[in-house]
């Protein structure tokens, strides 16, 4: 759980101590910033980040309700709690009318604990929601990095992602150049040091690489590791810098803020995960470039390198499961163990977290399936394609009771030679697609048959009369993560057809499609066998 950061407006030290003791009885002790006057309040509000504000009815130069108005203008939604000796019910009513989160009398401080617990729950829900969004973004970034094929592409992905992950005001991508730090790229609200080089010992990125650990700097002017003169012309007030690669770092990634900000453990973890993924992407890039040279030589080492690439994709997907399990587990705890039960906006936040986690789970599972299929060896045996297709469609019909009658036409006599497990996966993806894209079609029809063209191999076909697609986008069909329909229209991850293509290619065949918008689609494929179908059309 988070530790609450509270700005406390109070000029009586004895009252302040009693309030702090009451706040600490029922939860972890909050972090307090005190303001005993108008001037101190304005300075503290501008210099810090808070989860709530507690205020007396008045301190020198500042009325409590005026303080709440100022907080509302600068930080909408920040909870404001009055802890006052005033017992005037009209004043209390006015405070609530103006938007107070709660009003606690100083002689009834036992009410403060539940109020702060409510704030803490809201803060934790917001943190989990931010973390869910960041993890979803991290999945997308890892996917993009795994497909990057040049240093420029990696740099463009990372500099933008580093800023987006933590909502920072700026981000930089640094690579080590001998004894220098090369500030390769930046994405920020103002200019930093793009293109410049500094000695390793003269900048915080060099420190992070030398020490092989994250540098969290809440205030650059109070940290001896920071060359203040280099930062003074910039907007930077605080930062976090993490190394790229734990052993023998090759660079660093930094986040910058234009306000005092101490990077949280979540923020440090996210940018470090990006740095680790960047390290893998850079290693992958080096490997890919080496592969391109070896392709021209057509050596055995090409196959070994491709296996390493597949292992890299599997490792990235597999390592994302642990934080996803934690995310789902904590979301379930919030839904099942919070008293009183969550409702309203808090409930909506947690449900969104769980739904996002489920979507992430599907994506990771598809990534793992793609990796397994890519690395699988083909074990040939007789395969009753027609019977398998009918089993798949029967199962889809049995698990889709809300669907109307779907006409199914399958040549159950079709058979071939191949890997039974892989060919079943291919048919499951093709027929599940046909089932999905006929979901909004009246008189839906799905067919599986074979054709025999003169002088050619047997051609198998899955045809439907569903949504179809524009053939101008046909080249994108079998690319991973490319989808021709929106998530709202037809949900999916965009990996299924990539898996099908890999399986068909492993069997020495090819796959292609014909379609038109609103007129259905037909996927045809061949296999590296010459057995004619026993029936077809």
In this structure, are 164 and 81 located in the same domain? no
Is 532 part of a structural domain of the chain?
A: no
The C-alpha atoms of residue 464 and residue 441 are separated, in whole angstroms, by: 10
Residues 204-245: tens digit of each pLDDT: 999 999 999 999 999 999 999 999 999 999 999 999 999 998
Same domain for 496 and 426? yes
Q: How confident is the model at residue 533 (pLDDT cuts 50, 70, 90)?
A: very low
CA pair distance 367, 353, nearest whole angstrom: 21
Of 334, 349, 373, the domain-final residue: 373
Q: How far apart are the first and last CA of the chain?
A: 65
Contact 251, 162 (CB under 8 A): no
**CATH number of the CATH domain containing 25:** 3.40.50.2300
CA 184 to chain centre: 25
Residues 335 and 198 occupy one common structural domain? yes
Q: Do 106 and 114 form a contact (C-beta atoms < 8 A)?
A: no
CB atoms within 10 A of CB 64: 24
Give which of 79, 84, 76 is closest to 55, Cα–Cα.
Answer: 84
Single residue among 315, 348, 373 that ends a domain in this structure: 373
**Count: domains in the chain:** 3
Residues 136 and 280 in one domain: yes
Pair (186, 284) in one structural domain: yes
Residue 487 lies in a domain: yes
- Judgement on whether residues 255 and 349 belong to the same structural domain of the protein: yes
Asked if the structure places residue 146 within a domain, the reply is yes
Q: Identify whether 101 is part of a domain.
A: yes
Which residue intervals of 215-320 are DSSP H helices?
Answer: 228-231, 265-297, 300-319
Q: Is the pLDDT of residue 363 over 80?
A: no
- Asked if residue 351 belongs to a domain, the reply is yes
Q: What is the extent of the structural domain holding 387?
A: 381-525
Residue 486 CB neighbour total at 10 angstroms: 8
| Alpha-carbon separation of residue 191 from 27, 172, 187 (angstroms) | 43, 11, 9
Contact criterion met (CB below 8 Å) for 224 and 239: no
Q: Are 225 and 215 in contact (CB under 8 A)?
A: yes
Closest CA to 524 of 415, 447, 435: 447
129 band by pLDDT with thresholds 50, 70 and 90: confident
Per-residue pLDDT tens over the stretch 149-196: 888 999 999 999 999 999 999 999 999 999 999 999 999 999 999 999
- Assess if residue 535 is contained within a domain: no
* 91 shares its domain with 198: no
Q: Are residues 41 and 101 in the same domain?
A: yes
Q: Is pLDDT above 90 for 305?
A: no
Residue 495: Cβ within 10 Å count: 22
Name residue, tokens 């007396």. 56
| The two structure tokens encoding residue 109 | 């401080």
pLDDT digits (tens, 9 = 90+) for 7-40: 999 999 999 999 999 888 765 788 899 999 999 9
**Residue 450 belongs to some domain of the structure:** yes
Same domain, 30 and 133: no
Q: Are residues 292 and 180 in the same domain?
A: yes
**pTM exceeds 0.85 for this model:** no
Same domain, 37 and 157: no
Specify whether 185 is located in the same domain as 95. no
Q: What is the CATH number of the domain that holds 214?
A: 3.30.450.40
């Amino acid at each position: 759980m988070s530790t609450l950061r509270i700005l406390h407006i109070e000029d009586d030290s004895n009252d302040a101590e009693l309030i702090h003791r009451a706040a600490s009885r029922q939860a972890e002790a909050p972090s307090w910033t005190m303001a005993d006057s108008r001037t101190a309040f304005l300075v503290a509000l501008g210099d810090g980040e808070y989860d709530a504000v507690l205020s007396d009815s008045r301190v020198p130069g500042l009325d409590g309700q005026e303080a709440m108005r100022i907080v509302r203008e600068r930080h909408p939604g920040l909870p404001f709690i009055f802890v006052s000796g005033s017992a005037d019910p009209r004043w209390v009513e006015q405070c609530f009318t103006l938007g107070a989160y709660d009003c606690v009398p100083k002689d009834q401080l036992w009410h403060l604990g539940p109020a702060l617990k409510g704030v803490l729950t809201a803060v934790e829900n917001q943190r989990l929601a931010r973390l869910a969004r960041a993890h979803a973004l991290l999945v997308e970034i890892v996917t993009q990095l795994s497909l990057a094929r040049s240093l420029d592409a990696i740099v463009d992905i990372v500099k933008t992602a580093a800023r987006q992950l933590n909502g920072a005001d700026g981000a930089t991508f640094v690579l080590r150049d001998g004894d220098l730090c090369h500030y390769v790229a930046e994405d920020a609200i103002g200019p930093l040091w793009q293109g410049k080089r500094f000695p390793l010992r003269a900048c915080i990125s060099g420190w992070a690489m030398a020490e092989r650990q994250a540098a969290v700097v809440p205030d650059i002017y109070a940290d001896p590791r920071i060359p203040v003169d280099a930062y003074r012309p910039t907007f930077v007030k605080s930062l976090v810098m993490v190394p790229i690669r734990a052993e023998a770092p090759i660079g660093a990634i930094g986040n910058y803020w234009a306000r005092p900000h101490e990077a949280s453990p979540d923020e440090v973890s996210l940018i470090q995960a990006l740095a680790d993924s960047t390290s893998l992407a850079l290693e992958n890039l080096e490997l890919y470039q080496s592969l391109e040279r070896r392709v021209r030589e057509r050596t055995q080492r090409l196959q070994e390198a491709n296996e390493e690439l597949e292992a890299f994709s599997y490792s990235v997907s597999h390592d994302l499961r642990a934080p996803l399990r934690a995310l789902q587990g904590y979301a379930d705890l919030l839904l099942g163990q919070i008293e009183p039960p969550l409702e309203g906006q808090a409930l909506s936040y947690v449900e969104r977290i769980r739904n996002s986690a489920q979507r992430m789970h599907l994506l990771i599972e598809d990534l793992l399936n793609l990796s397994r299929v890519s690395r699988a060896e083909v074990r040939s045996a007789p395969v009753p394609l027609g019977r398998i297709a009918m089993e798949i469609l029967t199962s889809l019909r049995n698990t889709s009771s809300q669907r109307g009658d779907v006409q199914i036409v399958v040549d159950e006599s079709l058979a071939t030679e191949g890997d039974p497990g892989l060919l079943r996966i291919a048919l499951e993806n093709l027929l599940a697609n046909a089932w999905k894209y006929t979901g909004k079609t009246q008189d839906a029809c799905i067919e599986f048959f074979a054709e025999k063209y003169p002088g050619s191999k047997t051609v198998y076909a899955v045809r439907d009369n569903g949504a179809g697609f524009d053939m101008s986008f046909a080249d994108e069909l079998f690319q991973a993560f490319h989808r021709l329909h929106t998530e709202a229209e037809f949900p999916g991850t965009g990996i299924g057809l990539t898996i099908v293509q890999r399986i068909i290619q492993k069997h020495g065949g090819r796959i292609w499609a014909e379609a038109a918008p609103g007129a259905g689609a037909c996927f045809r494929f061949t296999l590296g066998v010459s057995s004619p179908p026993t029936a077809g059309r």
